[in-house]
Amino acid sequence: MSHRIAVIPGDGIGKEVMPEGLRALEAAAARFGIDLSLEHFGFASCDYYVEHGKMLPDDWFVQLKDADAIFYGAVGWPETVPDHVSLWGSLLQFRRRFDQYVNLRPCKLLPGIKSPLADRRPGDIDFYVVRENTEGEYSSVGGKMFEGTDREVVIQETVMTRTGVDRVLKYAYELARSRPRKKLTSATKSNGIAITMPWWDERVAAMSESYPEVSVDKFHIDILTANFVMHPDWFDVVVASNLFGDILSDLGPACTGTIGVAPSANINPEGTFPSLFEPVHGSAPDIYGKGIANPIGQIWSAAMMLEHLGHPEAGQAIVDAFEAVLAEGDKAVLTPDVGGHGTTETLGCAIAERI
């Protein structure tokens, strides 16, 4: 059985790290005898927008819907297309139309990567953020009144549904149950956001009845961000709404020093539609073209993709490989962001060889 992978490099350093992501992917596929069929797409990029006046062709849904997974680089090139246009026209479309309602992001202290936190070592921090990825605060419902006058009022609605919240909570509880510590933390703000958030708390409590083995706690988002910095070792699985998850899944990797290398899985757990795997970092216009972008975010995303496709041992082999290369610390191989003077390619090749 062959897995059909849609490959979309996107913009900026997305185009530079993608070849290394594919190199690792193909190395793991070869080693574990996995049959992949890759299809390359140029859309969902600002280059495409400049040529066609839109981020996606009209039939993008049909073109992509039968893929087993989408392997994405990065999107955004504010010089030619404003971010809210490029993002809402691509990534956020995929997440919604392919119902990728779980965004899963690991926060893990890695060997050879300096954390900005004092006195933390690999092993101390190792948790997942499970983010709701289709609804909530990311809505386009709302509008303006008295526009352009002193009386101007601007309203934006957060929309949560029981279906939407319960299914992501279920995913988070399942994940927590599968891990040794079996611990779930819910991000809330029920003391201030007085309608949606107390209700979120109720759904968390209701779901916990089906998972007696999982211990649950909750923190308001303000103190939770503080605890990511002060007590990152407290966390095992953290579940959050779209916006809170967005924040926590940047902050978590920042605490482990891995924001430039963290991966992100946008998952449709039922497999009705393809899931999407991408690095957390963006297109990084400031370093594009220099060949120094760290490819580990893309490579780690390949590992999550293989795991999702039913090949956890292949995914693990990729993770082991880049952890080993990082731990070795060969400056000629590593990119500048992790203390080396190598290139995207030297690091990508070293990891692929190790696989």
Q: Which residues bind ligand IPM (CB under 6 A)?
A: 87, 191-192, 222, 246
By CB under 8 A, what part of segment 175-214 binds a copy of itself? 189-199
Q: Are residues 274 and 69 in contact, defined by beta-carbon separation less than 8 angstroms?
A: yes
Paired strand residues for 265: 104, 277
Looking at the Cβ atoms of 253 and 342, the one nearer to ligand IPM is 253
Q: Nearest distance from residue 87's CB to ligand IPM, in Å?
A: 4
Q: Is 337 exposed, middle or buried (0-12, 13-18, 19+ CB in 10 A)?
A: middle
Query: Distance (Å, rounded) from C-alpha 89 to C-alpha 275?
Result: 17
Q: Nearest distance from residue 14's CB to ligand IPM, in Å?
A: 12
Q: Which stretch binds a copy of itself (CB under 8 A): 9-17, 49-57, 96-104, 224-232?
A: 224-232
Residue 327 makes contact with a copy of itself by CB under 8 A: no
Largest CA distance in the chain: 66
If DSSP codes are grouped into helix, strand and coil, which group holds residue 182?
coil
Query: Distance (Å, rounded) from C-alpha 98 to C-alpha 219?
Result: 31
The token pair at 85 is 């246009």
Q: Nearest distance from residue 351's CB to ligand IPM, in Å?
A: 23
Q: Are residues 40 and 247 in contact, defined by beta-carbon separation less than 8 angstroms?
A: no
Q: Which stretch binds a copy of itself (CB under 8 A): 40-48, 55-63, 221-229, 325-333?
A: 221-229
By CB under 8 A, what part of segment 148-177 binds a copy of itself? 149-163
Q: Which residues lie near a copy of itself (CB under 8 A)?
A: 83-84, 87-88, 92, 115-119, 137-140, 142-144, 149-163, 189-199, 221-223, 225-227, 229-230, 242-243, 246-247, 249-251, 253-255, 259
